[in-house]
Amino acid sequence: MKEKIYTIPVTDAFKTECECPLCILEKKLEDENIEYVLGPFLMEPDGRMITNEKGFCRLHYEMLYNTQANRLGLGLIIDTHMCEQNSKLKKAYEENVENLRKESEISMIKNLSAKITSKQTETGKFVDQLVDMLSNLENSCTICNRLEQTMDRYIDVIFYLYFKEEEFKNLFNKQKGFCLKHLRQLLISTKKYLGPKDTAIFVNNLISIQIQNMERIQKEVNWFTKKFDYRYNDEPWGNSKDALLRSIQKLVGHCNLK
């Protein structure tokens, strides 16, 4: 198989002994993005505009802080991000404060009437606006977005290699399946990158591999639990000593379990 720059990360991941090669790709990307955000990205005007708007999810805030690599840089990012979010919240409040004042002073009769008719008040609309604003912020993350874009390109490469390179197809078929998160991502991506025939070929092969390996790891977890029974004390562990760790990763993808 002739390697190209854009195929090397993919083939390297698929050559790694693991429960999900896409987790290998994603973890490497994640570490690179943590380093990048606290380095060059920090000083790029476009980068700061993105972090000011999107911020990070809980996981990536934890990772950025726990690196202890550039706490000043992280502080600068959080400072301007909070300034922008505070400004949005204050603007929304100032646009609605008069309605809040008026509706806080309505009479008891009007208050009961509003409850009966279930007509949405201006305060109710403001609450919905705030909930939407906070929900959008909670579901946005600069690093998650960067990972999603690059992983999408990697999946495009996987499909290309699978149908064009017999050596890679054989490598794919030797995998232990994928975590359920990346299985879903592969399935969604077939609609974007593959035609009907290629989708049927790929999905048939993919799900066959996945079922076989889901059953394998379930049996390993089952044996792990049985080893706590004194009747199995003298039986060999086989591949089950780390089955609990691998099964969790199979279900939800890479996670920092200790």
Residue 149 confidence (pLDDT): 94
Question: What pTM was estimated for this model as a whole?
Answer: 0.84
Q: Write 118-125 long-range contacts (CB < 8 A, 24+).
A: 122/96, 123/96, 123/99
Count of CB atoms situated within 10 Å of the CB of 216: 14
How does DSSP classify residue 120? Answer: P
Rounded distance between C-alpha atoms, residue 185 and residue 161, angstroms: 17
- Whether the Cβ atoms of residue 7 and residue 157 lie closer than 8 Å to each other: yes
Q: What is the pLDDT of residues 89-136, one digit of tens each?
A: 999 999 999 888 887 776 555 555 555 556 778 888 899 999 999 999
Phi-psi region at 68: left, alpha or beta (left = phi > 0; alpha = psi -120 to 50): left
Q: How far is residue 164 from each of residues 25, 161, 190, 197, 198, measured CA to CA in Å?
A: 21, 5, 16, 15, 12
Specify the pLDDT at position 112.
Answer: 52
pLDDT one-digit tens code per residue, 210-257: 999 999 999 999 999 998 988 988 889 998 999 999 999 999 998 887
